[in-house]
Structure 1
């Protein structure tokens, strides 16, 4: 009888689902060193704001919020109130964040709020809700003490909008984030310039691992320039633009959000890591899944993912070349890395 019981217990242990085994392994192998990873070379701005929090032993959640605030403050054409407007001339913002305990908050289609990331965190921490949009999100901002800005376009965005109105044609372009650089640049963290004088900037996604071995992430954007009014991309959607599972890893991305939504991109990446894939492998498999839907269409748009796992491994992959990301760890200096891509 005892022998049969021992055999049963041995069999039960061997029959544990692979996912559970990976969870236990990931948890036991956590690397207690902080690191932060952001999309694009302009992630230097975000990482520089996140790193002091991590370096002092702070929480990953606080670090990624500071990363978002920094880039939302930076006047450019793709993030924050300085971003390009929709086709009706209004800047609308989307943002979300998620911590190590599956707490998450998202806001979308928000106008005149300078820091949608902080609004998303306020929603997460003070209400039972996860997602607010449009007028309701703005009402919540006012009730929570957020100051409403003027809504006036930044000089660069106004110029770009007037130029767009000449044709009023909406055709997303690969790496459209390469907007004309601001004449005053971006301070000490100026993104790398291309030969045509443009710089690389788009939706900012940041994921971080703190000294306690906990993960958090954020995503913030003004969305596609000159989009249809009311359009929401993947950025504020938990599981599409951002996903965090503290037992496994975290992922975020940038690019044409409609295509990311189709496969719940970041959740897919985390689940692939749960089942044994490295961050790089998981990002690549998710990109291949997008391409498989329509290989010819995939030649016309960009999506790039970044991911980290519980062991502190980092990975990225994109559809088209031109996607890069910024890594900051020991030493505190951000390193820009060019992602591998499906199409060369």
Structure 2
């Protein structure tokens, strides 16, 4: 996947990952547009709606979401269908089918979705279902709950018509077999081990929705759940204010409830860019070992202004607005 053109040179001392997994980072991504910074945001023209933004270089996903918005459908529909594009891409190894497994060889998926009313649905540690984003929406709309886990989530999905499918592709199985030779768990920044698709959209009515989907950390401990499906951490939407979503090392996002923080900062008057920068600053302040991991945020406010920020160089944001689908470089904290 193009979004997996990650940094190779940022603070890698003391870290390691199997060569097979590292080789998954592709080299064919187009050069992203100029980085978003507080300065560039301040000079932007008045934003227009609808719009879609997503973590990483996922032009097919944002194109599908944009298509749905152009049909006059809701931001929620756009989020689901856009995320489904990545979930169905077997060549990707961090979202949906083909995701890198846990250390026992099981592909487990987490996803959540939020609508304009603040309703939320999520699944965690779900196996054998290609589209967790769609199951999450069903949890939100068709059950009295907001989060289903493990076999319960899978059973619910099957009961409403989703088909079981083996999510471990041959490529991912081989990468796992290679990893088992050392079983060394030391993730490298921005390599295929904590990639997530987070997407935010505003429809023609100005309503905001968001979604987040991932297979989580490669070779994680069985049962591990990151931030992606947890409301307020991996994703948060307030239709009166805006929305935010995260990617990177979920444990660090969880500890600062980053997406909720960003929305609250926007409520207080900060721009999406300023809010993302402050949220990363909170992580930096609390984590002296920040050079060893990556976290990135993207955000949008009710006006349609966008922002993004991360710890290390290499993270990009996809933005579809004004009929332009572009990959934008994201400014970063660690410039040493």
CA deviation after TM superposition for structure 1 residue 113, in Å: 0.5
Residue number in structure 1 paired with 2:331: 340
Aligned partner of 2:207 among 199, 207, 214:
214
Residue number in structure 1 paired with 2:319: 327
Residue number in structure 2 paired with 1:88: 104
Distance 2:154 2:240 in 1: 34
CA deviation after TM superposition for structure 1 residue 202, in Å: 2.1
Distance 1:81 1:74 in 2: 7
CA deviation after TM superposition for structure 1 residue 330, in Å: 1.6
Aligned length, in residue pairs:
289
CA deviation after TM superposition for structure 1 residue 334, in Å: 1.5
Tell me, yes or no, if the aligned pair for 1:31 and 1:310 is still in contact at 8 Å: no
Residue number in structure 2 paired with 1:124: 140
**Alignment partner of 1:154 is 2:150:** no
Aligned partner of 1:275 among 268, 272, 280:
268
Structure-1-length-normalised TM-score:
0.82
CA deviation after TM superposition for structure 1 residue 246, in Å: 0.2
Distance 2:78 2:228 in 1: 18
Residue number in structure 2 paired with 1:64: 79
Aligned partner of 2:221 among 228, 236, 243:
228
**Alignment partner of 1:79 is 2:95:** yes
CA RMSD of aligned residues (A): 1.4
Tell me, yes or no, if the aligned pair for 1:32 and 1:213 is still in contact at 8 Å: no
Residue number in structure 2 paired with 1:243: 236
Distance 1:175 1:313 in 2: 26
CA deviation after TM superposition for structure 1 residue 158, in Å: 1.3
SS in 1 for 2:292: coil
SS in 2 for 1:216: strand
Distance 2:63 2:143 in 1: 30
Aligned partner of 1:308 among 285, 300, 320:
300
C-alpha offsets along residues 266-285 of structure 1, whole Å, 9 cap, x if unaligned? 00000000001100000000
C-alpha offsets along residues 150-173 of structure 1, whole Å, 9 cap, x if unaligned? 34x212211211110110011121
SS in 2 for 1:320: coil
Tell me, yes or no, if the aligned pair for 1:81 and 1:93 is still in contact at 8 Å: no
Distance 2:162 2:89 in 1: 19
Give 5+ residue unaligned stretches, structure 2: 1-45
Residue number in structure 1 paired with 2:257: 264
Residue number in structure 1 paired with 2:309: 317
Give 5+ residue unaligned stretches, structure 1: 1-29, 180-200
Tell me, yes or no, if the aligned pair for 2:94 and 2:100 is still in contact at 8 Å: yes
Distance 2:287 2:177 in 1: 34
CA deviation after TM superposition for structure 1 residue 31, in Å: 6.8
Distance 2:276 2:166 in 1: 39
Q: 1:144 to 1:313 in 2, by over 3 A?
A: same
CA deviation after TM superposition for structure 1 residue 45, in Å: 2.1
Tell me, yes or no, if the aligned pair for 2:47 and 2:305 is still in contact at 8 Å: no
Tell me, yes or no, if the aligned pair for 2:112 and 2:230 is still in contact at 8 Å: yes
Tell me, yes or no, if the aligned pair for 1:32 and 1:212 is still in contact at 8 Å: no
Structure-2-length-normalised TM-score:
0.84
Distance 2:166 2:112 in 1: 23
Distance 2:153 2:98 in 1: 19
Residue number in structure 2 paired with 1:19: none
CA deviation after TM superposition for structure 1 residue 55, in Å: 1.3
SS in 2 for 1:334: strand
CA deviation after TM superposition for structure 1 residue 32, in Å: 6.4
**Alignment partner of 1:51 is 2:69:** no
Instruction: Name the structure with the higher helix share.
Output: 1
Name segments (4+ residues, structure 1) moved above 3 Å. Answer: none
Residue number in structure 1 paired with 2:179: 164
Tell me, yes or no, if the aligned pair for 2:75 and 2:207 is still in contact at 8 Å: yes
CA deviation after TM superposition for structure 1 residue 135, in Å: 1.0
